[in-house]
Structure 1
Amino acid sequence: MKTEMRQNGEIIVVTIPLQLKRRGGRKLIIAPEGAVEAPPREETLGKLVAKAHRWLRMMESGQYRSIKDLAAQEQIDDSYLARVLRLTLLAPDIIVAILDGRQPDVLTWRELKNPFPMEWEQQREKWGFCQPTARPS
Structure 2
Amino acid sequence: MTKPDDTIRILIPLKVRKKNGRPKILPPADYLPSEDQAQDPHVLRAIGRAWGWRRRMEAGEFSTIQELAEAVGLAERHVSRQLRLAYLAPEVLKRLTCGREPSAVSLYDLGFLAGAAWGEQIRQALDEATS
Asked whether the two chains share a fold, i.e. TM above 0.5, the reply is yes
Percent of residue pairs bearing the same amino acid type: 24
Give me the whole-angstrom Cα distance separating, in 2, the residues matched to 1:128 and 1:37: 17
Taking the TM superposition and a 5 Å limit, the aligned residue runs for 1:19-30 are none
Greater than 6 Å deviation, 4+ residue runs = none
State the shift of 1:118 in Å.
Answer: 2.6
State the shift of 1:58 in Å.
Answer: 0.4
Report the equivalent of 2:48: 50
The correspondence for 2:92, drawn from 88, 91, 94, is 94
Structure that is richer in strand per residue: 1
State the shift of 1:128 in Å.
Answer: 3.6
- Greater shift, 72-81 or 92-101, is seen at 92-101
Taking the TM superposition and a 5 Å limit, the aligned residue runs for 1:88-127 are 88-100=86-98, 102-114=100-112, 116-127=114-125
Gaps of 5+ in 2: 1-29
State the shift of 1:80 in Å.
Answer: 0.6
Which secondary structure does the structure 2 equivalent of 1:52 belong to?
helix
State the shift of 1:93 in Å.
Answer: 1.4
Tell me the matched-pair count. Answer: 99
TM-score (structure 1 length as normaliser): 0.61
Please list the CA deviations of residues 88-120 of structure 1 after superposition, one character each: whole Å capped at 9, or x if unmatched. 121111111111253534222132233554311
Structure that is richer in helix per residue: 2
The AA in structure 1 aligned to 2:61 is Q
Give me the whole-angstrom Cα distance separating, in 2, the residues matched to 1:37 and 1:114: 28
